[in-house]
Amino acid sequence: MASIQSSATISGLSPHEMAALQIVMENQLSAQDVMPASEVQAQMVQAGFSKLAGTLSLRLLENRAFMESVEDHDFNGDSSWWCYRVTQSGVDWLLSNQHLFQLRRPPESLPQPLPPQPRAATFNQGITDDDVPF
Protein backbone atom coordinates (compact mmCIF):
# COMPACT_ATOMS: atom_id res chain seq x y z
CA MET A 1 0.00 0.00 0.00
CA ALA A 2 1.19 3.49 -0.73
CA SER A 3 2.89 5.29 2.14
CA ILE A 4 4.08 8.63 0.78
CA GLN A 5 4.03 11.44 3.35
CA SER A 6 5.24 14.60 1.61
CA SER A 7 3.23 17.03 -0.50
CA ALA A 8 6.23 18.11 -2.60
CA THR A 9 6.83 16.92 -6.15
CA ILE A 10 9.41 14.14 -6.21
CA SER A 11 11.21 13.25 -9.45
CA GLY A 12 8.49 15.05 -11.37
CA LEU A 13 5.48 13.36 -9.76
CA SER A 14 3.19 14.54 -6.98
CA PRO A 15 2.65 12.27 -3.97
CA HIS A 16 -0.81 11.24 -5.16
CA GLU A 17 0.58 10.35 -8.60
CA MET A 18 3.33 8.28 -6.97
CA ALA A 19 0.78 6.52 -4.76
CA ALA A 20 -1.51 5.68 -7.70
CA LEU A 21 1.43 4.43 -9.76
CA GLN A 22 2.56 2.27 -6.85
CA ILE A 23 -0.94 0.89 -6.20
CA VAL A 24 -1.52 -0.11 -9.82
CA MET A 25 1.98 -1.57 -10.22
CA GLU A 26 1.58 -3.61 -7.02
CA ASN A 27 -1.48 -5.24 -8.59
CA GLN A 28 -0.05 -5.70 -12.08
CA LEU A 29 1.87 -8.96 -12.11
CA SER A 30 2.12 -9.06 -15.91
CA ALA A 31 2.22 -6.32 -18.52
CA GLN A 32 -1.35 -7.22 -19.53
CA ASP A 33 -2.93 -7.18 -16.05
CA VAL A 34 -5.29 -4.31 -15.28
CA MET A 35 -6.82 -2.82 -12.14
CA PRO A 36 -10.36 -1.37 -11.99
CA ALA A 37 -10.39 2.40 -11.56
CA SER A 38 -12.80 2.08 -8.62
CA GLU A 39 -10.35 -0.22 -6.82
CA VAL A 40 -7.48 2.21 -7.41
CA GLN A 41 -9.59 5.01 -5.95
CA ALA A 42 -10.60 2.86 -2.94
CA GLN A 43 -6.97 2.01 -2.20
CA MET A 44 -5.99 5.67 -2.58
CA VAL A 45 -8.61 6.62 0.02
CA GLN A 46 -7.35 3.81 2.27
CA ALA A 47 -3.85 5.28 1.92
CA GLY A 48 -5.11 8.67 3.14
CA PHE A 49 -5.81 10.50 -0.12
CA SER A 50 -9.14 11.95 -1.20
CA LYS A 51 -11.27 10.47 -3.98
CA LEU A 52 -10.40 13.53 -6.05
CA ALA A 53 -6.68 12.83 -5.60
CA GLY A 54 -7.28 9.29 -6.81
CA THR A 55 -9.14 10.45 -9.91
CA LEU A 56 -6.69 13.25 -10.71
CA SER A 57 -3.70 10.99 -10.34
CA LEU A 58 -5.08 8.53 -12.87
CA ARG A 59 -5.73 11.30 -15.39
CA LEU A 60 -2.36 12.94 -14.80
CA LEU A 61 -0.50 9.65 -15.15
CA GLU A 62 -2.42 8.85 -18.32
CA ASN A 63 -1.48 12.29 -19.72
CA ARG A 64 2.18 11.54 -18.92
CA ALA A 65 1.80 8.15 -20.68
CA PHE A 66 2.73 6.38 -17.42
CA MET A 67 -0.65 4.61 -17.38
CA GLU A 68 -3.26 3.66 -19.89
CA SER A 69 -6.97 3.11 -19.46
CA VAL A 70 -8.51 -0.07 -20.81
CA GLU A 71 -12.17 -1.05 -21.00
CA ASP A 72 -12.68 -4.45 -19.39
CA HIS A 73 -15.73 -6.72 -19.61
CA ASP A 74 -17.27 -9.47 -17.54
CA PHE A 75 -17.18 -13.07 -18.73
CA ASN A 76 -20.43 -12.76 -20.72
CA GLY A 77 -19.65 -9.32 -22.10
CA ASP A 78 -22.76 -7.88 -20.43
CA SER A 79 -21.00 -5.34 -18.22
CA SER A 80 -17.94 -3.20 -18.74
CA TRP A 81 -15.80 -0.92 -16.59
CA TRP A 82 -12.60 1.09 -16.91
CA CYS A 83 -9.31 -0.26 -15.69
CA TYR A 84 -5.75 1.02 -15.63
CA ARG A 85 -2.35 -0.49 -16.18
CA VAL A 86 1.16 0.90 -15.95
CA THR A 87 2.77 1.44 -19.36
CA GLN A 88 6.40 0.72 -20.18
CA SER A 89 7.17 4.43 -19.58
CA GLY A 90 5.68 4.12 -16.11
CA VAL A 91 7.63 0.94 -15.42
CA ASP A 92 10.83 2.67 -16.56
CA TRP A 93 10.13 5.59 -14.20
CA LEU A 94 9.50 3.18 -11.32
CA LEU A 95 12.70 1.26 -12.06
CA SER A 96 14.71 4.50 -12.12
CA ASN A 97 13.10 5.78 -8.92
CA GLN A 98 12.58 2.64 -6.87
CA HIS A 99 14.74 4.13 -4.12
CA LEU A 100 11.80 6.46 -3.35
CA PHE A 101 9.55 3.58 -2.33
CA GLN A 102 9.47 1.27 0.65
CA LEU A 103 10.23 -2.08 -0.97
CA ARG A 104 10.37 -4.12 2.22
CA ARG A 105 7.62 -4.37 4.79
CA PRO A 106 8.67 -3.81 8.38
CA PRO A 107 8.76 -7.05 10.37
CA GLU A 108 5.60 -7.79 12.28
CA SER A 109 6.00 -7.36 15.99
CA LEU A 110 6.37 -10.51 18.00
CA PRO A 111 3.84 -11.21 20.74
CA GLN A 112 4.92 -9.83 24.07
CA PRO A 113 5.83 -12.39 26.74
CA LEU A 114 3.31 -12.89 29.51
CA PRO A 115 4.13 -11.15 32.78
CA PRO A 116 5.68 -13.42 35.41
CA GLN A 117 3.10 -15.42 37.35
CA PRO A 118 3.15 -15.36 41.14
CA ARG A 119 4.72 -18.39 42.70
CA ALA A 120 2.38 -20.81 44.41
CA ALA A 121 4.20 -20.41 47.73
CA THR A 122 3.85 -16.62 47.57
CA PHE A 123 0.26 -16.83 46.38
CA ASN A 124 -0.83 -19.19 49.18
CA GLN A 125 1.04 -17.32 51.85
CA GLY A 126 -1.32 -16.19 54.56
CA ILE A 127 -4.31 -18.28 53.42
CA THR A 128 -5.72 -20.55 56.07
CA ASP A 129 -8.56 -23.04 56.27
CA ASP A 130 -10.68 -20.28 57.79
CA ASP A 131 -10.45 -18.36 54.48
CA VAL A 132 -12.06 -21.19 52.51
CA PRO A 133 -15.91 -20.87 52.55
CA PHE A 134 -16.69 -24.63 52.57
CA dihedral for 32, 36, 39, 45, sign (positive or negative): positive
pTM above 0.75, yes or no: no
Phi first, then psi: give them for residue 69, nearest 5 degrees: -95, 145
Q: How does pLDDT run across 24-58, given as a tens digit for each residue?
A: 999 999 989 999 999 999 999 999 999 999 999 99
Q: How does pLDDT run across 55-108, given as a tens digit for each residue?
A: 999 999 999 999 999 998 888 878 889 999 999 999 999 999 998 888 888 887
Domain 15-103 has CATH 1.10.10.10: yes
Higher pLDDT, 93 or 122: 93
Q: Residue 48, exposed/middle/buried by CB under 10 A (0-12, 13-18, 19+)?
A: middle
- Residue spans of the domains in the chain: they are 15-103
Would you call 50 helix, strand, or coil by DSSP? coil
